Amino acid sequence: MLTISPFLRPANIVHQTIATSMTNANSASSNISPIGTRSLRTLSMAAIVGILAACSSQVPLDQPSSPTTRPPVSGSIEVLPPDANEPLPPAIQQAKSRWVPVHWSSVPGLEQDNLADAWNAWIKSCSRPPAPFAQFCSEVRRMSLASTEEQRAWMVSRFQPYRVESLDGNPDGMLTSYFEPMLDGTRQPGNGYSIPLYRSPATLGTRKPWFSRQQIETLPQVQAELQDKVIAWVNDPVDAMVLHIQGSGRVRIQEADGSVRLIRVAYAATNDHPYKSIGKWLLDQGLVRDATWPGIKAWIAANPTRVNELLWSNPRYVFFKEEPLSPLDAEFGPNGAQGVPLTPGRSIAVDRGSIPYGTPVWLSSTGPTVQLNRLVMAQDTGSAILGAVRADYFAGWGHEAGDFAGRVKQPLRLWVLWPRGVAKR
């Protein structure tokens, strides 16, 4: 996520991606709107900014959240604080990182985060819990009724924080953000709706790579094969490209009878071509000096006849599958790589070689866009999300979430919360 904004990263859902200055955002996931799963997110850059969309979603607020006060959980779960004089356990080595044990007092912002807002994400992880955390899921569900103070005490009692470092001992990394675009569409082409969103073609696996983006959009034989694979038609090729980059999105479908239905188009497959950033292409051609979304958009407005040239510089093409969105589904994003729905503001994509899916993580990041000290869940991944201290923060869906996601590229530190007494996976 450089200054090459939205188009430095392809969203490929493994099934697995504010507008003003935000300075202090410890608000909870309820202050965002969800997106979905993706597996190849590349260069989760500060670029997917502003990406079009009608309906906007909420993103983290610019003030710290206040802890929620609730009735006690009735003492049904025994919570004993760890012995402050107890020696710390040994460090844990992962394939791409080293976890260094620390005292809870070293975890920044622990008292300020509204943990209740993170509990939905934890409960989602418990539908497919990794082995070390499965034993806690019954308590996690019961603690959803607890106050923030009780949740914090339970978490401190059950888990040991470990600072995540690179193998050479560096605790500093990078935070970026992703989101789920919102587009308008129709079932039939016409009235400006001429850009198709395709399901996977039958011959996709017969050749690798399959046809390139330019070939898909221009070769008659490829067009013929795809003619019965259209999920929906949208009215802007750049918006469609943003959807391909993010790997999942929502489409408001205007049905033939005049009704409007909200669907999700989730990642299904790609044509196996490498992802190429259109922002980088503009920079390499010397056509822009600002490859953020506003800069790219300005160039497109000034050069409408070169839009295809720009888009075809990225040969990668994403195929989708249609998923219905019930009112409950609409409150969450698509499935992440862990196989559970993402929670806005509380789900992150990580490098699995550093942090296993389903792991609770304490995230701390202070930058020009947002300040975050909060509990999140490692529930997704992406092809550009590589490294020991690396996270892509799920911001939600719609224009506001896109604008926020496109601006986030800032320093990061992470603490894994690992079950006490468990030395390794």
pLDDT of residue 80: 73
Closest to 98 in 3D by CA, of 170, 161, 171, 165? 165
Residue with the two structure tokens 């390794």:
424
Using one digit for the tens of pLDDT, what is the confidence trace for 26-63? 333 333 433 334 434 443 333 333 333 333 455 544 43
pLDDT the model gives residue 7: 36
**Neighbouring residues of 44: CB distance < 8 A, sequence distance ≥ 6:** 1, 9, 17, 176, 177, 178, 349, 382, 384, 385, 392
Task: Tell me the backbone φ, ψ of residue 213, rounded to 5 degrees.
Answer: -55, -45
Mode of pairing for the β-strands spanning 159-165 and 98-101: antiparallel
Residues of 303-312 as b/e, b for ≥16 C-beta within 10 angstroms? Answer: eeeeeeebbb
Taking the C-alpha atoms of residue 152 and residue 223, their distance in angstroms, rounded to an integer, is 56
Predicted TM-score of the model (pTM):
0.79
Q: How far apart are CA 362 and CA 170, in angstroms?
A: 17
The pLDDT tens digits of the residues spanning 327-348 come to 888 999 999 999 999 999 999 9
Question: Cβ-count burial of 178 within 10 angstroms (0-12 exposed, 13-18 middle, 19+ buried)?
Answer: buried
Residues 123-134 pLDDT 10s: 999 999 999 999
pLDDT at 72: 53
Spell out, as residue ranges, where the chain has pLDDT lower than 50. Answer: 1-56, 60-71, 74, 425
pLDDT at 75: 53
Task: Give the model's pLDDT for residue 62.
Answer: 40
Q: How far is CA 47 from the centre of its chain?
A: 14
- What fold does the segment set 180-324 form as a domain? Ribosomal Protein L25; Chain P (2.40.240)
Helices (H), 136-284: 137-143, 148-158, 213-218, 220-226, 237-246, 278-284
Q: Rounded to an integer, what distance in angstroms lies between the CA atom of residue 311 and that of residue 217?
A: 11
